[in-house]
Amino acid sequence: MKPIGPVNALYPMPTTIVGVTVNGKPNFLAVAHVGILNHGTPQYLSIGLGKVHYSNAGIHENRTFSICMPSEDLMVETDYCGIVTGKKTDKSALFDVFYGELKTAPMIRECPVNMELRLHDILDFKTHEIFIGELVQTHADDSVMTGGKIDIAKLRPLLFDMASVKYWRLGPAVGNCWNAGKSLKK
């Protein structure tokens, strides 16, 4: 064990596509620097966006955004959303877009799960804005549901790791939470 400098090792993270209305049009960007803040209702989630991004102004203006969960099948489109900027490229036609309760949080029919969020707060860091959203509604495709719940094995999320600069697949389940450790009790 040795010190390697302040290297962020909190990976993999789920790769998401964030949907925003900017200048009256839907725009999408790939975001894997996300967070689960609390656990409960209302549920708060965070996305960290560099201030250089085109989408930030749209969240400030409309105070809404979506977090869409692409499956592995959408890797090429997701990555594309991360390498071209809405400043120069219109990404609104890339997907079949739909809206839910919030009228300015564009979501993606090709993503099996989509969440719409109302802006709760913004944390202002030097180079990044952290947008904290209150989850308003989740939209899921029947194809990824099992027994009324989202089935992550069917969703097949795209996982992001910064060190390898790669997307990774989810492997199999290996144990039960709040259970596997019982053998160590007493």
Segment 107 to 136, residues that bind its own copies, using CB under 8 A:
109, 113-115, 123, 125-128, 130, 132, 135-136
CA–CA distance, 89 with 67 (Å, rounded to integer): 20
Q: Does residue 97 interact with its own copies by CB under 8 A?
A: no
CA–CA distance, 148 with 93 (Å, rounded to integer): 31
CA–CA distance, 54 with 108 (Å, rounded to integer): 19
Q: Does residue 88 interact with its own copies by CB under 8 A?
A: no
Q: Minimum distance from CB of 149 to its own copies (Å)?
A: 4
Q: Minimum distance from CB of 22 to its own copies (Å)?
A: 20
Applying CB under 8 A, what is the total number of residues that bind its own copies? 103
Stretch that binds its own copies, among 20-28, 54-62, 106-114 (CB under 8 A): 106-114
Q: What is the C-alpha R_g of the chain?
A: 17
Q: Is the distance from CB of 102 to CB of 136 less than 8 angstroms? A: yes
Looking at residue 85, the DSSP 8-state letter turns out to be: -
Q: Minimum distance from CB of 138 to its own copies (Å)?
A: 4
Structure tokens, 8: 């962020």
Interface mask toward its own copies for 13-32; x: CB under 8 A: xx-x---------------x
Segment 38 to 77, residues that bind its own copies, using CB under 8 A:
38-46, 48, 50, 67, 69, 72, 75-77
Q: Is the distance from CB of 133 to CB of 43 less than 8 angstroms? A: no
Q: Is 72 exposed, middle or buried (0-12, 13-18, 19+ CB in 10 A)?
A: middle
Of 24 and 37, which has the nearer Cβ to its own copies?
A: 37
Of 24 and 87, which has the nearer Cβ to its own copies?
A: 87
